[in-house]
Amino acid sequence: MENLEKNSVLVVDDELLNLKMLRSILHEDYTVYTAKDGPTGIEMAVSNNPDLILLDILMPDMDGYEVLARLKSNSNTRRIPVIFITGLDSKAEEEKGLSLEAADYIGKPFSPGIVNLRVRNQIQIINQIRTIEKLSYLDQLTQIPNRRSFDQQILSEWGRAIRDQIPLSLLMIDVDKFKIYNDTYGHLQGDIVLRTVAGTILQTLQRAGDFTARYGGEEFCVLLPGADVVGAMKVADQIREAVQSLNIPCENGVYSSVTISVGVHSLVPKVTNTIPDLIAKADQALYTAKESGRNCVRRYLA
């Protein structure tokens, strides 16, 4: 279990002694993978998706420069930073490596202190970038994915649904009379409601592939890959019932409650369909739910 929490490093070098030395230096702090040649290193980079690659320049058959070029040309590996490990002491060689987007150099013979520092610096940069990226896809109030994250997720699921010809369902959810709730209990209490509804939606979803996000304001959305309209309606009503049953604490021991309206649209997309059309039809179904008295689920009907 401990290894799963570590950052990972792939070392590619044709010298067994170098592989053993670098593994010995790094294994306490990182999960270390090793490869004895360039082609194997590329395969392991794709299959293991390491956080960092240490790559020897001088190797038979495929040198480090070619390996780096191939890594950068592959969408699955192009973002993995690469540190060259080399005994070459040439400004021209260093310039060539940097022009191919190598992140750094480690010289031979190895100094354990230098290896650890250069690896640690790159890992810190990677982790900081990931933290920033994660925050940019997270709604800060509710701590669930935001609209930007939803836009990316629906694009991915749409492509998969077209490719595999499987249904894709979308729920659009709106907290009923939220403005009145805010006016009655205050905006801080309104924030509590939004966080509580978001958490309730998450807890109600059962499948690993199901996805929810805050769409904006008091509106949420749920993507259900592989779910037809019957399954989507069932999930929508489970969410509605779960929210309706909430007792949300307010000040002075008072409890409040809210309800939601849900619009559902499901289809097996074809190339002639579009994502905006899916969203618009789920929105239209949501409007119908609100016009029907709220606290209900409605599907899109052409």
Residue 172: CB partners within 8 Å, gap ≥ 6?
215, 219, 220, 221, 262, 263, 279, 282, 283, 285, 286
> Which of 114, 129, 130 is CA-nearest to residue 54?
114
Residue 116: CB partners within 8 Å, gap ≥ 6?
25, 26, 29
* Amino acid letter for position 105: Y
Using an 8 Å Cβ cutoff, are 56 and 85 in contact? yes
d(CA 145, CA 165): 26
SS3 118: helix
> Which of 83, 82, 81, 85 is CA-nearest to residue 107?
85
Residue 77, class by beta-carbon neighbours within 10 Å (0-12 exposed, 13-18 middle, 19+ buried)? middle
* Amino acid letter for position 42: I
d(CA 23, CA 199): 43
In the DSSP assignment, the letter for residue 176 is: T
Annotated catalytic, 95?
A: no
- In the set 15, 66, 157, 218, the catalytic residue is 218
Residue 23: CB partners within 8 Å, gap ≥ 6?
11, 32, 34
Q: What are the residue numbers of the active site?
A: 218
